[in-house]
Amino acid sequence: MIAAGCAAPQPMMLGGRTTPRDRVDLGVGGAARIPLGDLQPPETPDGDEQVLHYAESGGIAPIAWGRWGLADDWDLGLFVSGSVVRLETLGELRLSPFLRLIGGVMPYGGYARADVPEPATMSTRTSEGWRVGALAPIAIGIEAGGVFEGWLGARVGFEHADGSFGPAEMRTSGALTAFRGGLVLGLGLGLRRVHVLIELAADYEYWRGGIGEDDIERHGVALTPGFALRLRL
C-alpha cells in the first residue's frame, strides 16, 4: 500500500503437501522484498518515484500463518505478512506416494499508516493507504518420510494500491495496479512435527498508475527470500 515504505513480502511457504485432515500447521518467521532494476526507487525518492517507494518498497517483515486440514487433499489458512492479511485455500492432487501437485487461490488485503515529524518545517508527514490483491500458485511438492519437503512451482497475481502521503496541508494521492508472475522454490527439513522452511520467489512485476496528474509505469524483477519454523499439531 502507499504507506511509509511498509514492506509486505508475499512468500508462499507451501510445504511438500497440504495440511493433513484434521491437523493444524502453525508457522512463524520472516521474509524480505528485494526490488531490482526499474522497481528499485532511490534512497531519497522524489516526485513520481514516491508512489513506487510507498506502494512496494523493499524491506523485511515478520510472517506468521495457520492452516487447517479440511480434507485429505484440501486446507484453509490465514497468512500474515507485515500489515497484510492473506486468506488461503489450497488443494492437492497425489501423483505418487511422495509427489503431489499443489495449487490454490490466495486473496489478501491490508492497511497501514505512519506519521513522521519533520523538524525543519515543524509539520508532520503522514503516509497512509491500503492494498488488495490475490495470488494463484501451482507447484510440485515432495514429501519424504516427514523429514524432507520440497516445492517448485510458479505463481501469478495482481494487486491494487491506493493512498496518500505528505504534510496535512499538502496531501498528495496516488494509485497503482500491478500484475506479477514468477517462480517459487522451497525446502523444508526437520522431524514429523517440526520443520525449518526456507524459500525463494522471483517475480516479474508490471506496475501502472499515477500520482496527482503524473502517470507512472514501472516493471522489473523482485526477489522474495523467506524462512520460517513450522509446527504441525
What is the signed CA dihedral for 132, 138, 144, 148, rounded to 10 degrees? -40
Domains annotated on the chain, with CATH: 24-232 (2.40.128.90)
Among 53, 14, 58, 18, which residue's Cα sits nearest to residue 34?
Answer: 58
HEC string of 28-46 equals EEEEEEEECHHHCCCCCCC
Q: Which long-range contacts (CB under 8 A, 24 or more apart) does 45-48 make?
A: 47/214, 48/210, 48/211, 48/214, 48/216
CA pair distance 205, 85, nearest whole angstrom: 21
% the chain with pLDDT above 70 = 80
**Residue 57, φ and ψ in degrees, nearest 5:** -75, 165
**pLDDT for residue 3:** 38
34 alpha-carbon distance from chain centroid: 12
Q: State what percent of residues in the chain have pLDDT above 90.
A: 60
Q: Is 163:54 a contact under the CB 8 Å cutoff?
A: yes
Is there a contact between 49 and 55 (Cβ–Cβ < 8 Å)?
A: no
Report yes or no: 214 and 177 within 8 Å, Cβ to Cβ.
Answer: no
Torsion, CA 138, CA 1, CA 5, CA 125, rounded to 10 = 180
pTM of the model: 0.87
Q: Give 132's strand partners.
A: 109, 160
- In the predicted structure, residue 10 carries a pLDDT above the cut 90: yes
E strands present in 168-213 = 172-190, 194-211
pLDDT digits (tens, 9 = 90+) for 52-74: 565 666 789 999 999 999 999 99
Three-class secondary structure of residue 169 per DSSP: helix
At 63, list the grid cell: 510472517
Task: Please report which residue ranges of the chain form alpha helices under DSSP H.
Answer: 49-55
Cell 500458485 belongs to 137
Give every CB contact of residue 96 below 8 A, 6+ residues apart in sequence.
Answer: none
d(CA 61, CA 13): 15
pLDDT at 4 over 50: no
pLDDT tens-digit readout, 87-137: 999 999 999 999 999 999 999 998 877 666 665 556 666 667 788 999 999
